[in-house]
Amino acid sequence: MKVLVISAAYPPMHAGEATNTYHLCRQLVERGVEVHVLTSFGNMGTADPQIHVHAVMPSWGWGDLLRVRSFLKNCAPDAVFLMYIGLMYKFHPMVTFLPTLSKKLFPKMPFVTRYESAFVGADPSKTGILSRLVRKLIVRWAGTSDVAYSSGTLLRDSDTVIALCERHRAMLVKEWAPVQDKVALIPPPPNLFIASNVSGLARERGRKRLGAAPGEFIVTFFGYLYPIKGIETLLQAFAIVAAQRPEARLLFIGGKVGLDVEGGASYFDKMQALAKELRVDARTTWTGAFKSEEEDASLLLHASDVCVLPFLEGVQLNNSSFASMVAHGLPIIVTRGPQMDEAIVDGENVLACEPKDYQEIARLILQLMDHADLRARLRGGALKLAAEWFSWDTATEKTLTALRPRLSGTVA
């Protein structure tokens, strides 16, 4: 089986979408799938000889539609898998019509779209007059019925639409109700290689790398840093903890995001400046970017005692950084969002509080420092959550089910 994966984000780009695309490709290859990746200039991959990377896309505008068409015809895959978030494609609408293009070339070939976010689609209004005129022509070519402004024909013409959490699923159904029957919920598994921690060796190695003393308690944030991650809240909380507990240390695993996130370019530097202002810089470690296919980040997660994700929009199943933490069996403090997935349970597999409440986060960190039994309960809950929702085996099998051709209404 030959699968074409289309993604503007791919290694060495520093973005969760890039690393998750790579790990998905790696999983498909291990199951005997021939994988080709169509991506942007510069995204040459990880030198994995089993994944065929085609970094030939200069941009993702109307001028490149014929380039995609030509590539699709020459590649002649058995299925297409599109990784989609408007941010990856600079919010241009061209990509939102690729399912239609694919159906016109290969009517029976499955086309699957995975929504990295359901509320960051294309924005045709930000393109020029000529681009908007071209879009009107493309809509006529695609058939005007059920074409959405921000998602084109992604919902109408994709055979399966993958949502990463319940909130995203609800938003997609609200945008186009008939998609309800073809939405699959597949949260993203961990975005990194997970080192074995038999006999605590990975934890020991990670703490040695950090120079952590036996009695030090490491509070960790994992993931890329940009404004909606709420890092200032964590720094303010840690300042309260540090004033009371000299054994506490703060660790940030991750760096600047490679995508053009609003405010992202300067956010990392601003947060380092805030750490100095709060006088916690001497007890804070910033690792910067890491390679997801190597063990470094995993060793540092094993070395951690508790993790905090103070997201402004709350934590959901779509957060791959959360998946990586639970896969390491870590006690985790999270923030609540507008719609929290039922699988995330306060007191069972996480401790939850409201966004921006740094005083409550500080209280929860101190509570975890003082109660080993609570840490143990949350570790058990995290590992159970990882097994039920963040297994690469389960996610890959569900993805393959969507990619296989449908014969007489059944999945082959």
pLDDT by residue for the chain (412 residues), tens digit each? 999 999 999 999 988 899 999 999 999 999 999 999 999 999 999 989 999 999 999 999 999 999 999 999 999 999 999 999 999 999 999 999 999 999 999 999 999 999 998 877 898 988 999 999 999 999 999 999 999 999 999 999 999 999 999 999 999 999 999 999 999 999 999 988 999 999 999 999 999 999 999 999 999 999 989 899 999 999 999 999 999 999 999 999 998 876 666 566 689 999 999 999 999 999 999 999 888 889 999 999 999 999 999 999 999 999 999 999 999 999 999 999 988 899 999 999 999 999 999 999 999 999 999 999 999 999 999 999 999 999 999 999 999 999 997 643 333 3
The pLDDT of residue 292 is 85
Distance CA 305, CA 300 (A): 10
The structure's pTM equals 0.89
The reply to whether 2-189+392-411 and 198-389 are identical in fold is yes
Query: Tokens 């960190």 appear where?
Result: 365
The pLDDT of residue 410 is 35
Distance CA 263, CA 409 (A): 47
Q: For residue 202, which amino acid is it?
A: A
Q: If DSSP codes are grouped into helix, strand and coil, which group holds residue 381?
A: helix
CATH number at 198-389: 3.40.50.2000
> Token pair for residue 43?
């995204």
Domain 2-189+392-411, classified CATH 3.40.605.10, yes or no: no
Alpha helix (H) residue ranges in 125-263: 129-142, 154-157, 166-175, 201-210, 231-244
The pLDDT of residue 408 is 33
The pLDDT of residue 260 is 65
The pLDDT of residue 259 is 67
**Burial state string for 107-145 with b = 16 or more CB within 10 A and e = fewer than 16:** eebbbbbbbbbbeebbebeebeeebeebbeebbeebeee
The pLDDT of residue 263 is 63
Domain-by-domain residue ranges, the chain? Answer: 2-189+392-411, 198-389
